[in-house]
Chain A
């Protein structure tokens, strides 16, 4: 395979943004800060239509949403994009990103299917669409503008005391590049979409052995209580693999992966009395949007880092970020909320 096949075209501007069910549920500040960075710092045009919905990807991968249904829902999102006059789709979610690419691929291979979906969409909604010229995941755009963001950065991913690069481990998320390797920077085997970003921001990136292993979401495997052990077991494989490298942070591409790598550290600490860092505080897990926001100097509590179970202060302290500890549990109106309960093992 040629190295050029590990690159891909990423639109430069004029995006139609579609949100993620999981990211907006667990890390809504990440979506907010992404839009703010793109619009206010990079001066790009990004529109959102309130009428867009879930892509239904979790329903599809739990096998209760048929292929023609998800194709028609996706076609409806494209119709909203067409109606707004845009042609570049910007996708918050890795599962959705895989879905959009799969649908477009199947339509290329089976044009009669596209015709059928157009008929479904017209009958159900009286809408029509033009296929997107470009489909980018949110991390693709951060990757494309990583140098510009680094130039504007207030902080670096460097230990402020020693000057040493912080050590980052990444998790790409299976559906970003395993379904269509040519659609991901670096493909499935040599992922660069996050490692190039963190190195641009000053960190070193560790290629740990289980870097490509699934976080363990497994769709139905996590959703069903009966099989949730599948999920934690696979995340554990990753933690065991990365721990010897003593990472300062994990950066995750996919909303679900970011949530699992965060929450399962808590669960494993309660189950096994163990954390995967030396200080007992866990390894902070951030998304690409949150990491970009942090180096640009956004308030950690405005971008939602208090919504993580593994607390981010260890990373903030290493980076030398100036922040208000008292603002963590304060509402926008200034009222102090009660603090979350402390875990038994994981230090907060």
Chain B
């Protein structure tokens, strides 16, 4: 059983929280449920995922339906490729709607109810920590071959010989100054941390970490 800890800052309701995101207006105008988004969706070809249904549920304006959606695996199955955007006859963007739904799901802690949602903790530990420590989302050091067998033996060879391989192709791996894979200086990292603090990124990541303490 998942013991959920839900915050109280959505007293105006989940729908209001969705509408408060500036992207909501671009994401969902008036869906006519044609299903073109589902037809083109790479996630729908892999998961039992249906962006058309997500639009219908949000468009219902029913708090209970939206709460159920925010607790579901459905909203974590989209790959945010945005293939839906150019194809929607009404100019809706289900992929962007997913971004808004995930934001509210994390802010309210409802993501804990979803097995896929709870994996956000791993994203924070993986990408979040890397951003905080290095200033990059991804670095060669993050791609440990044991965790990434799909990368194949050439990556394993690169990983084991990083300094020489990166030097050969003109990169400045873990060196100061400009160039590919350079070390980002401490003053720059301090500015990045200040931005994360100032704009709510640290708060969001802390929330995901704290809610993860209630994982089932």
List the interface of chain A (C-beta within 8 A of B).
19, 21-26, 28-29, 31-33, 36, 48-51, 53-54, 56-59, 61-69, 71-73, 76, 98, 106, 109-110, 113, 120-121, 123-125, 127, 174-175, 177-179, 181, 187-189, 212-214, 216-221, 223-230, 232-234, 237, 263-264, 266-267, 301-304, 306-309, 330-332, 335, 337-343
Given the complex, which residues of A lie within 8 Å of B143, measured CB to CB?
25
Interface of chain B, main secondary structure: helix
Highest count of chain A CB atoms <10 Å: which of B131, B154, B158? B154
Contact in complex: A341, B153 (CB < 8 Å)? yes
Q: Mark B139-160, 1 if CB is under 8 A from A, else 0.
A: 1100100010011111111100
User: Among the listed B46, B82, B168, B204, which residue makes an inter-chain contact with A302, where contact means beta carbons less than 8 Å apart?
Assistant: B168
| Smallest CB gap from B23: residue in A | A67
Contact in complex: B180, A53 (CB < 8 Å)? no
Given the complex, which residues of A lie within 8 Å of B198, measured CB to CB?
72, 120, 123-124
Given the complex, which residues of B lie within 8 Å of A221, measured CB to CB?
43, 79
Chain B contact-residue range equals 35 or more
Contact in complex: A220, B170 (CB < 8 Å)? no
- 25 residue pairs from A and B, CB less than 8 Å apart: A25-B136, A28-B166, A32-B169, A50-B184, A50-B185, A54-B135, A56-B131, A58-B138, A64-B204, A65-B201, A66-B200, A73-B192, A76-B195, A121-B195, A124-B199, A175-B81, A175-B82, A227-B116, A227-B119, A230-B46, A237-B42, A264-B150, A332-B164, A340-B154, A341-B153
Contact in complex: B45, A124 (CB < 8 Å)? no
Known interface pairs A50-B178, A230-B47; A59-B195 also in contact (CB < 8 Å): no
Contacting A at CB under 8 A, from B72-106, are 76, 78-83, 85-86, 99, 102-103, 106
Contact in complex: A223, B126 (CB < 8 Å)? yes
B4 touches A (CB below 8 Å)? no
Docked Cα-Cα span, A219 to B82, in Å, equals: 12
Known interface pairs A29-B169, A54-B136, A181-B86; A69-B79 also in contact (CB < 8 Å): no
List the interface of chain B (C-beta within 8 A of A).
21-23, 26, 42-43, 45-47, 76, 78-83, 85-86, 99, 102-103, 106, 116, 119-120, 122-124, 126-128, 131, 135-140, 143, 147, 150-158, 161, 164-171, 173, 176-182, 184-185, 187-188, 191-192, 194-201, 204-205, 208
Contact in complex: A53, B192 (CB < 8 Å)? yes
